[in-house]
Amino acid sequence: MTAVLFVTGGLLLVAALLTLFRLLRGPSVYDRLVALDLFVVILLGGILVEALGRREPANVVLLVVVALVGFLSTVSVLRFDVEDPR
């Protein structure tokens, strides 16, 4: 089980680095927003892997809080976007 957690953590780390590259280099605000959403999902996966490694269900609250912050950041960027698509 430990080897699976290490491999999963490594893959999540590679995915996070590639996502950060897109987040920093994205040509538009929307590309960066999608990259930020993906980064939040990868962060949730990392927290879940860590919780499984420790066998503690206490991180469920942290998962919910990070998911809500990610959702609210996406909604707020889209709500207060200054570009008018008309």
**pLDDT tens-digit map of 17-40:** 999 999 999 888 888 888 999 999
Angle between helix axes 29-54 and 2-25 (nearest 10 degrees) is: 160
Model pLDDT, residue 80: 76
Which residues 6+ apart lie within 8 Å of 25 measured at CB? none
- Whole-number pLDDT of residue 14: 97
In the prediction, which pLDDT does 83 show? Answer: 62
Which residues are CB-neighbours of 30 under 8 A, at least 6 positions away? none
Using alpha carbons, list the distances in angstroms from residue 30 to 20, 22, 60, 69.
14, 11, 29, 18
- Single-letter residue type at 27: P
Question: What parts of the chain have a pLDDT lower than 50?
Answer: none
pLDDT attached to residue 31:
87
Q: What is the pTM of this model?
A: 0.82
Q: Give the integer Cα–Cα distance in Å for 62 and 59.
A: 5
In sequence order, the 6+-apart residues with CB closer than 8 A to the CB of 44 are: 63, 66, 67, 70
